[in-house]
Amino acid sequence: MTHALTEVRPSRRQALVAALGLGLSIEFLGGSAFADAATRKLVVVICRGGMDGLSVAPPVGDPHYAGLRGAIAIPGFGQPGGALQLDSTFGLHPSLAAVHRLAAKGEARIVPAVATPDRERSHFEAQDVLENGATAAYGVDSGWLNRALQAMGPGKAKAISVGATAPLILRGPVGVASWSPGPGAGRDPRLPGILQDIYAQSDPALARALAMGLSTESMAEVATSDATAALAQAGPAMDGGQMAATSQTAPTAAAGAPGAGMMTPPTAGGAAPQPGRQGLPIARQLGATLAGFMIQPGGPQLAALSIDGFDTHANQGSSQGQLATRLAYLDATIDGLADGMGPAWKDTVVVVATEFGRTARVNGTVGTDHGTASTALLLGGALAKGGIVGDWPTLADGKLFENRDTAPTLDMRALFKGLLVGQYGLDRRALDTTVFPDSAAVAPASGIIA
Amino acid sequence: MALDRDLAAAIAVTRFGLGAKPGEIASVAGGDPQRWLQAQIRPVGGADQPIANPPTSAQRLLEFRDYQRQRQAARAAGGPAFDPVKFAGNLIRQDAGADFLARARLAATTDADFRERWALFWFNHFTVSATKLQTATLVGPFEAEAIRPHVFGRFEDLLVASSSHPGMLLYLDQAQSVGPDTTAATFLSRGGRHAGLNENLAREIMELHTVGLEAGYTQGDVTEFARAMTGWSIGGLRESDDVAGKFLFRPAAHEPGVRTIMGKRYPQDGVQQALAVMRDLAASPHTAHHLAVKLAVHFVADEPQPSLVAQLERTWLGTGGDLAEVANTLILAPEAWSAQAQKFKTPYEFLVSSWRAAGYAPAALQEVAILTAMGQKPFSAPSPKGWPEDAATWCAPDAVIKRIAWVQTLAAKDLAGRDPSQLAADALGARLTPLVAKAIARAETREEGLAILLMSPEFQRR
């Protein structure tokens, strides 16, 4: 793999030089015109499949928690495999050790009962609503993050998604980059220019995608080398020797090396490569690489990343098991991202959200079914210090939504609005009409950003 | 059709089919392109099988059991510990890899490429994904056993075949769903095991496979259907070989009683209850509309003309979901023959059509692994909804870069003596534009010429 990378890199440069020679726009190479927003970063991590909030931040201090959850309850503070304590009620899943370290510094908070306006319990409809920012799945086919870019004004900020394809949240009128590990645009240095010329005359959508792809490739070289360096310096938190050996090869192996396609456990179109527990270094590398993009001069301010595999209908596990593995992957990604951002972390907020939570009660197959409110995680140096965001409805009898799910106390759009106001000062009118259509009744959550 | 025959032939092969092999468009243009498509509809026999006498899903499940037993015996004799995850990884590589490669080779070489595309549509509609370890080796058998034989039959039969196949029963957790008021539940809970309802498959049959959310059913309807489906299970791997790993209705796990779903009462006993529900779901006008839209989106445009949807819907309702008739209506619909190519190829469609254009068939699993980097990992749709079909998903910056890199590796394979301009004329026929033809003619190398062809707008779209 290392051999393949070193072989491809020079020709990728040639391709970029050739592209520049033809006058293509390399957007990221220019400086940003919006100095204020340029340093504020927002990363949205979407956990697909309906992430179980009651396991992400288990309310082990809630007297009804253990009874409802049975075999999948996370043990209490201080017990073997127990929750990592946040306050007297809430802890974090033991797989979320890096998040817990951030929480100890005031750089992580939980939002324990947040939901989109959708109540259908359909993955697909709920994910659409989470990403399109509307009240219904249909009729709006662009994403709220793209419309937020638009509301900031032309050229004020840029965005990137991790993965080969564009998720709904970033689709829309503003061109957005996407990136995943791979060998770049190949060896023929003339080809990108020839294609750009053809696309410019006959296919605007392909022209836009290619221009964005080429400019992102030029950043990728810097981002991947920075990420490798950052991880190599990260020291005792990990096995440095092992990292040095895997950091170059791992992302490529996960994404498409010969034979790897059939080997790695769950992954998906549009989602990041997702190895199991043995692949945690890859997850860290992915987070660090994304950071490598974002901290470059003129780099993107906004980013979206998807992780899937959270649909735990059966054998969900408790401190160990299926869900624990996914959460460890999430934790490693966040850890790599936080490390990789370096000094820029102080201006960064990461929000981790899912389309819906899961049933409060364990089901017949030691898992949980589609529910309503779930837990969102907020991370970053830009966070205001404080406790939970939104109210905790408790799991007491009569408090469950439809006697089944955690009841929502906060609208997901209020959370997202609060982040956009705090980070970018977006005005209320734009938020209520274009970014989140018909949402004047939903006020931005306050006190999230320092 | 008002189109000239050359353009119609190019559309028949590239839009309805899987892309032209050298000589294919010329051959179709020599006859009637619509008849060429109609001749591929095969009500008896269904779609072609990629593997003759393929391993069954039961064999695949038993393979794992037998291996486990061997290893347990080895461990008892002091051998190394058995690592089920590692073993499953090996199985996935060998079995699922071979299945996928065989399917890709069929697509790359078949002369009946409309028939294969029609089957691909139905695999994606009834998705079983290898993202779940226990179903990873069952995706190939699921396609071979539940889908291919029924794609030109009645939709109801396809639905029942899918819903009773071990691959689907495991993928959507139905196999272990137990009625709460049954002897099985009592027995299992006495033994300290959890037993109860799992509504996953029932929900997705309603939402994804049949009527869709717009039918307006409630959570209560989903739960009632899940109760009706209890008992639809698989013979356990410890049971005798004649039932192990096969569909098995377990009366002891079936929730007794009358069910009410979308306002209709279902008094049937046993396995007949869920079958009656499925029959009604299959016959619903909501299902006809849902599938008519999906077919039009797959074959013609991300936002298809309502008149095309209406024709498909009418045939569906008029024939009780006869898929051969629906296919025929699609072939005869003028809207499907628009000169404008509106569909952006998915990564799999792009690879298959590229292989066909180059007269090449993949020989090793490594050659399909690139699908993962392009965002479409083999047999691993991200959710039961299957792969997205729209240009907004696939015409993305990183995805385009990955395609450019890949066409160069394909072009670097043995193309001695092939003229890129001739390959382009063969691959696109009357759809080749002067702009692209000129760029190919000016290419510095054969490899560059082929790369330009495969990355051209008219090749990326269909």
Predicted confidence (pLDDT) per residue in A164-186, tens digit: 777 899 988 888 888 887 778 88
Amino acid at A179: W
Q: What is the mean pLDDT of residues A24-43?
A: 53
> In chain B, what residues touch A276 (CB-CB under 8 Å)?
85
Over residues A396-419, mean pLDDT? 96
Q: State which residues form the domain around B277.
A: 172-283
Do the Cβ atoms of A187 and B408 come within 8 Å? yes
Gap from A17 CA to chain B (nearest CA, Å): 16
What is the structure's pLDDT at A26? 30
Residue where a domain terminates, one of B267, B283, B299 = B283
- Which chain A residues are Cβ-neighbours of B207 within 8 angstroms? 122, 124
For residue B444, count CB atoms less than 10 angstroms from its CB and return exposed for 0-12, middle for 13-18, buried for 19 or more. exposed
What pLDDT, on the 0 to 100 scale, is given for residue A216?
A: 85
- pLDDT exceeds cutoff 70 at A243: no
With a pLDDT cut of 90, the percent of chain B lying above it is 79
B154-203 pLDDT per residue, tens: 999 999 999 999 999 999 999 999 999 999 998 888 877 778 899 999 99
Q: State the pLDDT at residue B403.
A: 96
Q: What share of chain A has pLDDT > 70, as a percent?
A: 79
Q: What's the pLDDT score for residue B249?
A: 97
Question: Which chain A residues touch B199 with a CB distance below 8 Å?
Answer: 369
Q: What does the pLDDT read at residue B356?
A: 96
Kindly state the average pLDDT of the residues B235-259. Answer: 93
Q: How many CB atoms lie within 10 A of CB B359?
A: 16
Asked if residue A272 has pLDDT above 60, the reply is: no
Q: Which of B401, B410, B433 to mutate against chain A (most A CBs within 10 Å)?
A: B401
Answer yes or no: do A164 and B200 touch at CB < 8 A: no
Beta carbons of A178 and A214 less than 8 angstroms apart? no
Is residue B1 scored above 80 in pLDDT? no
- Residue B322's SS3 state is strand
Q: What's the mean pLDDT in A255-270? A: 29
Q: Got the DSSP string for B186-197?
A: HHHHHTT-----
pLDDT class for B132, splitting at 50, 70, 90? confident
Model confidence pLDDT, tens digit, residues A141-169: 899 999 999 999 888 888 998 887 778 99
Residues of A in contact with B460 (CB under 8 A): 203, 206
Cβ contacts of B208 on chain A, cutoff 8 Å: 124
Which of B283, B298, B323 corresponds to the end of one domain? B283
Residue B394 is assigned to a structural domain of this protein: yes
Lowest mean pLDDT among B90-104, B204-218, B250-264: B90-104
Residue contact A259–B366, C-beta within 8 A: yes
Using a CB-CB cut-off of 8 Å, the residues of chain B touching A262 are 92-93, 96-97, 100, 130, 365, 369, 378-379
To the nearest whole angstrom, how far is the Cα of B381 from the nearest Cα of chain A? 6
Residues in chain B with CB shorter than 8 Å from the CB of A260 are 369, 372
Is the pLDDT score of B128 beyond 90?
A: yes
Residue A270's pLDDT band (boundaries 50, 70, 90)? Answer: very low
- What's the confidence (pLDDT) of residue B192? 75
Chain centroid to Cα A46, Å, comes to 5
DSSP reduced 3-state for B234: strand
Pick the residue with more confidence: A334 or B447? A334
| pLDDT at B349 > cutoff 60 | yes
In this prediction, residue A16 carries a pLDDT of 39
Same structural domain, B374 and B449: yes
Asked if A131 and A144 touch (Cβ cutoff 8 Å), the reply is yes
ipTM, 2 dp: 0.91
Nearest chain B alpha carbon to A209: B397
Compare CB distances from A263 to B92, B391, B396 and report the shortest one's residue.
Answer: B92
Residue B138 forms part of a structural domain: no
Chain A closest CA to B169's CA: distance in Å?
13
pLDDT tops 50 at residue A217: yes
- Residue to test with chain B: of A118, A125, A262, A277, most B Cβ within 10 A: A262
Helix (H, G, I), strand (E, B) or coil at B264: strand
Q: Which residue of B has its CA nearest to A181?
A: B373
Tell me which of A431 and B1 has the higher pLDDT. A431
8 A C-beta contact, residue B138 and residue B128:
yes
User: Is residue B133 domain-resident?
Assistant: no
User: Closest chain B residue to A201 measured between Cα atoms?
Assistant: B435
User: What integer pLDDT is reported at residue A12 of this predicted model?
Assistant: 41
In a domain, B95, yes or no: no
Compute the distance between CA of residue B375 and CA of residue A255 in angstroms, rounded to an integer.
9
Of the residues B214, B387, B393, B400, the best mutation for testing chain A's interface (the one with the most A CB atoms within 10 Å of its CB) is B400
Distance CA A384, CA A381 (A): 8
Burial of A43 (C-beta count, 10 Å sphere; 0-12/13-18/19+): buried
Q: Which of A26, A69, A123, A188 to mutate to test the interface with B (most CBs of B within 10 A)?
A: A188
B303 belongs to a structural domain: no
Q: Which helix (H) or strand (E) holds B72?
A: helix B57-76
Please report which confidence band the pLDDT of residue B85 belongs to, taking 50, 70 and 90 as the band edges. low
The alpha-helical segments, DSSP class H, found in B230-369 are 271-283, 285-299, 306-319, 323-332, 347-358
DSSP state of B111: S
- Dihedral of the CA atoms A182, A186, A191, A197 (nearest 10)? 10
Q: Tokens at residue A198, please?
A: 């053809």
Q: How many domains, chain B? A: 2
Q: Predicted confidence band at A261 (pLDDT cuts at 50, 70, 90)?
A: very low
Nearest CA in chain B to A261: B369
CATH topology of domain A32-180+234-435: Alkaline Phosphatase, subunit A (3.40.720)
Confidence of residue B70 (pLDDT cuts 50, 70, 90): confident
Cβ-defined contact of B177 to A201 (cutoff 8 Å): no
Q: How far is CA A391 from CA A53, A219, A387, B358, in A?
A: 14, 42, 10, 61
Q: Do A263 and B387 touch (CB under 8 A)?
A: no
- Integer Cα distance of A419 and A28 in angstroms: 24
CB atoms within 10 A of CB B98: 18
User: For position B327, what pLDDT does the model report?
Assistant: 98
| A191:B374 CB<8 A | no
Q: Residue B109: what pLDDT?
A: 97
Do the strands A302-307 and A41-47 form a parallel or antiparallel pair, or are they unpaired? parallel
- Do B369 and B456 fall within a single domain? yes
> What's the rounded Cα separation, in Å, for the pair A359 and A350?
26
Q: Region B269-281: what's the mean pLDDT?
A: 97
CB nearest A186 (choices: B172, B195, B404): B404
CB contact under 8 A, A313 and B198: yes
Residue B370 sits in the same domain as residue B442: yes
Secondary structure class of B166 (helix, strand, coil): helix
Domain for residue B409, yes or no?
yes
Average pLDDT over residues A309-313: 90
Cα distance from B145 to chain A (closest Cα, Å)? 22
CB nearest B398 (choices: A199, A213, A314): A213
pLDDT the model gives residue A297: 86
Question: Pairing state of beta strands A410-411 and A374-379?
Answer: unpaired
List, in order, residues 6 or more apart from A32 with CB less than 8 Å away.
A38, A156, A157, A158, A297, A298
Q: In A73-85, which positions are buried (b, 16+ CB within 10 angstroms) versus exposed (e)?
A: bbbeeeeeebbbb
d(CA A108, CA A380): 7
Q: Which among B240, B262, B283 is the end of a domain?
A: B283
Across residues A394-401, what is the average pLDDT? 95
Domain membership flag for residue B109: no
- Among B383, B384, B395, the residue with its CB nearest the CB of A205 is B395
Given A184, A202, A205, which is nearest B401 (Cβ)? A184
DSSP state, B132?
A: S
The structural domains of chain A, with segments of one domain joined by +, span 1-30+183-214, 32-180+234-435
B234 contacts in A (CB within 8 Å)? none
The average pLDDT across B85-111 equals 86
Contact A120 B439 (CB under 8 A): no
Six token digits for residue A142 = 């662009």
Nearest residue in B to A307, CA atom = B382
Label residue A106 left, alpha or beta by phi (over 0 means left) and psi (-120 to 50 means alpha).
Answer: left
Residues A53-92 have pLDDT tens digits of: 999 999 999 999 999 999 999 999 999 999 999 999 999 9
Nearest CA in chain B to A205: B395
Looking at residue A3, its pLDDT comes to 36
Q: Do B371 and A182 touch (CB under 8 A)?
A: no
Residues B303-342 have pLDDT tens digits of: 999 999 999 999 999 999 999 999 999 999 999 999 999 9
Number of A:B CB contacts under 8 A?
245
Eight-state DSSP code of residue B94: I
Residue B306, C-beta contacts closer than 8 angstroms, at least 6 positions apart: none
Return the residue of B nearest to A362 by Cα.
Answer: B194
Residue A316 Cα to chain centre, angstroms: 22
Burial code (b: 16+ CB inside 10 Å, e: under 16) for A102-114 equals bbeeebbbbbbbb
Phi, psi torsion values for A224, nearest 5 degrees: -70, -35
Is pLDDT of A420 > 80?
yes
Is B313 among the domain residues?
no
Contact call for residues B387 and B50 (beta carbons, < 8 A)? no
Rounded distance between C-alpha atoms, residue A268 and residue A266, angstroms: 7
pLDDT at B89 over 90: no
Round to whole Å and give the CA distance between A192 and A199. Answer: 10
Closest Cβ–Cβ partner in A183, A194, A262 for B92: A262
pLDDT value of position A227 = 58
In this predicted structure, the answer to whether residue A353 has a pLDDT above a threshold of 70 is yes
Closest by alpha carbon to B156, among B297, B295, B294, B288? B288
The secondary structure of chain A, three-state, reads CHHHHHHHHHHHHHHHHHHHHCCCCCHHHCCCCCHHHHCCEEEEEEECCCCCHHHHCCCCCCCCHHHHHHHHCCCCCCCCCCCEECCCCCEECCCCHHHHHHHHCCCEEEEEEEECCCCCCCHHHHHHHHHHCCCCCCCCCCCHHHHHHHHHCCCCCCEEEECCCCCHHHCCCCCCEEECCCCCCCCCCCHHHHHHHHHHHHCHHHHHHHHHHHHHHHHHHHHHHHHHHHHHHCHHHCCHHHHHHHCCHHHHHHHHCCCHHHCCCCCCCCCCCCCCHHHHHHHHHHHHHHHHHHCCCCCCCEEEEEECCCCCCCCCCCCCCHHHHHHHHHHHHHHHHHHHHHHHHHHEEEEEEECCCEECCCCCCCCCCECCCEEEEEECCCECCCCCCCCCCCCCCCCCECCCECCCCEEHHHHHHHHHHHHHCCCHHHHHHHHCCCCCCCCCCCCCEC
Minimal C-alpha gap between B159 and chain A (Å): 20
- Chain A residues near residue B202 by CB distance under 8 angstroms: none
B411 pLDDT band, cuts 50/70/90, is confident
- CA A122 to CA A128: how far, in whole Å? 10
What the block records as the tokens of B412 is 């670097």
Are B392 and A201 an interchain contact pair (Cβ–Cβ within 8 Å)? no
B380–A255 C-beta distance less than 8 A = no
In whole angstroms, what separates CA B450 from the centre of its chain?
Answer: 29
Which member of A123, A124, A258 has the closest CB to residue B366?
A258
Q: CA A274 to CA A283: how far, in whole Å? A: 7
Q: Of the candidates B93, B203, B395, which has its C-beta nearest A206's C-beta?
A: B395
Does residue A229 have a pLDDT over 60?
A: no
Q: Do A213 and B447 touch (CB under 8 A)?
A: no
| A145 CB-near residues (< 8 Å, 6+ apart) | A44, A159, A169, A170, A302, A304
Asked whether residue A340 carries a pLDDT value surpassing 90, the answer given is: yes
Mean pLDDT for chain B? 92
